[in-house]
Amino acid sequence: MNATGLEALQGTNFKLPGQSAFYKGKVRDVYTIDEKYLVMVVTDRISAFDVVLPQAIPYKGQVLNQIAAHMLAATADIVRNWIIDVPDPNVTIGKRCEAFKVEMVIRAYLTGHAWREYKEGKRTLCGVKMPEGLNENDAFPEPIITPTTKASHGHDMDISREEIIAKRIVSEEDYNLLEKYTREIFKRGTDLAAGQGLILVDTKYEFGKDEKGIVLIDEIHTPDSSRYFYKDTYHELQNKKRAQKQLSKEFVRQWLIENNFQGKEGQELPQMSEEWVQQISLRYIELYEKIIGKKFVPENNHNIELRIEKNILKALKSIN
Q: What is the pLDDT of residues 178-203, one digit of tens each?
A: 999 999 999 999 999 999 999 999 99
Quick check: 242 pLDDT over 50? yes
Q: How far apart are CA 89 and CA 295, in angstroms?
A: 15
Q: How far apart are CA 52 and CA 25, in angstroms?
A: 9
pLDDT tens for 90-114 read 999 999 999 999 999 999 999 999 9
pLDDT reported for residue 3 = 39
Beta bridge partners of 173: none
Domains and CATH numbers, the chain: 99-248 (3.30.470.20)
Q: Decide: 185 and 78 in contact? Cβ < 8 Å.
A: yes
Quick check: 151 pLDDT over 70? no
Average pLDDT over residues 22-44: 95
Helix 172-195, helix 60-74: angle, nearest 10: 110
Amino acid in position 177: L
Q: Decide: 312 and 16 in contact? Cβ < 8 Å.
A: yes
Long-range Cβ pairs for the range 123-129 (8 Å, 24+): 125/158, 126/158, 126/159, 126/160, 126/161, 127/160, 127/161, 127/162, 127/163, 128/160
Sheet containing 83-88: which strands, arranged edge to edge?
19-24, 28-33, 37-42, 91-95, 83-88
What percent of the chain lies above the pLDDT cut of 90? 82
SS3 164: helix
Q: How far apart are CA 200 and CA 26, in angstroms?
A: 23
